[in-house]
Amino acid sequence: MADVEDIARRLCNIIASPDTVTGLINGGLSVPLDYGYLVYGIFDTDTRYARETQRIRMITAIKNDILNYENIVSAVKVILKEFNRYLTEAEQDKIYRSVMTSIAGRVSTNIIASTIAKHVIERTSFTFIVFKGKGNPITALSTLLLFGGMAERSIRTSERLKAEAPEVYQLLRSRDYDLLYFLFADAVQPFVDAIHAGYSEGKPVFIQIMKKVNEKLTAHTTEGAYE
């Protein structure tokens, strides 16, 4: 059963202040976390063949330039577009305009996606350097992504998404965006939770979530007007 109140609260926080995603992004390079995944992968012999198959897909995706800013933005937009699919354009505008004056819902979606991607880049020092044009993206990123715990983290996060929100996984998988999901998973989790609630429990539950979001955004806007 979806926790309507919790999902609504987390959605409100991001919609009202997109920059709050900074604290939700671990960044692409997290040595302790990746080391843990690396060790786990070494001892997990039961899924070794499946993970090797995923690594082959990863190599192909990297050769096709999956690791760039535009693809991160696009991957996030895929999720936000699915989220907005449950809302009419009028409902979208009502939600986003409550905190972003005179900005249509679709434009606000672009802002949120770009903000998340920007913070992914800034929090990931090696990616930031490569995206600034220093070094070869294929060489630098493929080395880090393919040979170490980061690869395990990418694959495991993709597998977890497939198990917990298969409808979102399918949307990302068609363009190999599921391999990038680990970079921004925590930042988009409220949107994924809302989508999955609507998919698995029906649109009435999604409507309940959005009703709560509207209430919280209205209260947020009112408080801001009196500060």
| DSSP one-letter code for 100 | S
Residue 143 is predicted with a pLDDT of 55
Residues 40 and 47: beta-carbon distance below 8 Å: no
Comparing 170 with 2, the larger pLDDT belongs to 170
Polymer length in residues for the chain:
227
Residues 139 and 127: beta-carbon distance below 8 Å: no
8 pLDDT band, cuts 50/70/90, is very high
CA distance 175 to 183: 16
Looking at every residue in the chain, the average pLDDT score rounds to 76
The model's pLDDT over 35-84, given as tens digits with 9 standing for 90+, comes to: 334 334 433 445 555 667 887 888 788 778 787 788 889 999 999 999 99
CA distance 147 to 122: 22
The model's pLDDT over 105-145, given as tens digits with 9 standing for 90+, comes to: 556 788 888 888 887 766 654 444 444 444 554 445 555 55
Residue 117 is predicted with a pLDDT of 81
> H helices of the chain, where?
4-16, 31-43, 48-63, 69-85, 89-97, 105-123, 125-131, 137-146, 149-164, 166-173, 181-201, 203-225
Residue 79 is predicted with a pLDDT of 95
The rounded percent of the chain whose pLDDT value lies above 90 is 30
Residue 43 is predicted with a pLDDT of 36
Q: Going by C-beta distance under 8 Å and a sequence separation of 6 or more, which residues neighbour residue 206? A: 86, 194, 197, 198
Residue 102 is predicted with a pLDDT of 46
CA distance 182 to 165: 14
Mean of the pLDDT values across residues 11-33?
Answer: 69
The model's pLDDT over 165-215, given as tens digits with 9 standing for 90+, comes to: 999 999 999 999 999 898 889 889 999 999 999 999 999 999 999 999 989
The predicted model scores a pTM of 0.78
